[in-house]
Amino acid sequence: MELPVLFMGTPDFAVPSLESLISNSYQVVAVYTQPDKRVGRTLQLVPPPVKKLAMDHKIRVVQPDSLKTSRALEEFASFSPALVIVAAYGRVLPSNILSLPKFGCLNVHPSLLPRHRGSSPIANALLCGDEVTGVTIMLMDAGMDSGPVLAEREVAISPHDTTGSLTPKLAQVGAELLLKSLPLWIEGKIKPQPQDESQATFSKMLTKEDGEIDWKLPAVQLWRRVRAFDPWPGCYTWWKGRRLKVCEAVPLGGGGEVGRVTTVKEPGPAMIGVVTGKGVLGLRRVQLEGRREMSAADFIRGQRDFVGSVLP
């Protein structure tokens, strides 16, 4: 299509949406993404996934530190976009940018709005024990994910899903829903539906500290956290002064002293568990700081005093 489209996105979640625009001959005039980040011990600069895709297709990439300066607005306006597509860009768009494109700014949001607005909707759906999540195509306004809805599609959450497994599923569904919705929106065949503010919930930005396990919480809640915080920030406890990451777990019945490590009997591979505020969290896979990830069975073979100890 000859319609000039400007795309804004940063992580892997945004890649399928940009790919779908490119492969379906939309005229992507520029891609906005977050600045490159230094990672690892060498602090090497690594570009966002969206930047890599844009450069592969020789699309202009812009990585401003802010969108609120007059210079940033002038540069944005110079692309004369008729439509802006946003997918996990990671920055709030000021009102003077929202009002610029003829067909507005559409957001590909990984939840069924108004549920799970905010920065961590996928993790929050798992934390809340939702059985269904989805993707929403929304016309952005000045609020936080509060604009009217153009389209939604549901995605079931399995008991084995983590943030790491749900993200690519939702990214692909989002790209498909975006492609289906765009022609209808441009032709005026979609009437945006306002969100029900009384049903709105919010997800906060995750921090590394969120991953530390409080054994006083119920086992079911900790199981949800293990899944929600995979791959980041991870769910962890402490063993002999070293961080012990719980990579895979299962909620079980039972009780005793909170934090006590015990053996468990169940059909699955969990062989050890930790007593929680309600029930036992069976540990299936763990990773001790400085070591590789391994099964709980392999871990206790090398840490024979783990069973019977009390975790903080």
30-44, 117-131, 154-168, 170-184: which has the minimum mean pLDDT? Answer: 30-44
- Of the residues 203, 227, 257, the one at which a domain ends: 203
Quote the pLDDT of residue 40: 81
In this predicted structure, the answer to whether residue 64 has a pLDDT above a threshold of 90 is yes
- Largest Cα–Cα distance in the chain? 68
DSSP letter for 105, please: E
Quote the pLDDT of residue 91: 92
170 and 278 assigned to the same domain: no
Q: Are strands 272-275 and 261-263 parallel, antiparallel or unpaired?
A: antiparallel
215 and 171 assigned to the same domain: no
181 and 220 assigned to the same domain: no
34 and 176 assigned to the same domain: yes
Domain that holds residue 250: 208-302
251 and 127 assigned to the same domain: no
11 and 105 assigned to the same domain: yes
Residues recorded for the chain: 312
Q: How far apart are CA 39 and CA 36, in angstroms?
A: 10
- Residues ≥6 apart with Cβ < 8 Å to 19: 53, 175
Quote the pLDDT of residue 271: 83
The mean pLDDT value for 94-110 works out to: 97
Quote the pLDDT of residue 269: 67
Element of type H or E holding 21: helix 15-23
178 and 281 assigned to the same domain: no
- What does pLDDT average to over the chain? 96
Q: Hey, which bits of 160-302 come out as E strands?
A: 202-203, 235-239, 242-252, 261-263, 272-275, 280-288, 294-295
pLDDT, tens digit, 9 for 90 and up, residues 260-299: 999 997 766 668 999 999 999 999 999 999 999 999 999 9
Quote the pLDDT of residue 207: 96
Helices and strands in the chain: count of H runs, count of E runs: 8, 17
Residue 101 is assigned to a structural domain of this protein:
yes
Q: How far apart are CA 300 and CA 303, in angstroms?
A: 5
Quote the pLDDT of residue 2: 82
Quote the pLDDT of residue 1: 64
Q: What is the pTM for the complete model shown?
A: 0.95
Q: How many domains does the chain have?
A: 2
pLDDT, tens digit, 9 for 90 and up, residues 201-241: 999 999 999 999 999 999 999 999 999 999 999 999 999 99
Q: Is the dihedral of CA 141, 142, 145, 146 positive or negative?
A: negative
The mean pLDDT value for 8-24 works out to: 98
- Of the residues 170, 187, 203, the one at which a domain ends: 203
70 and 131 assigned to the same domain: yes
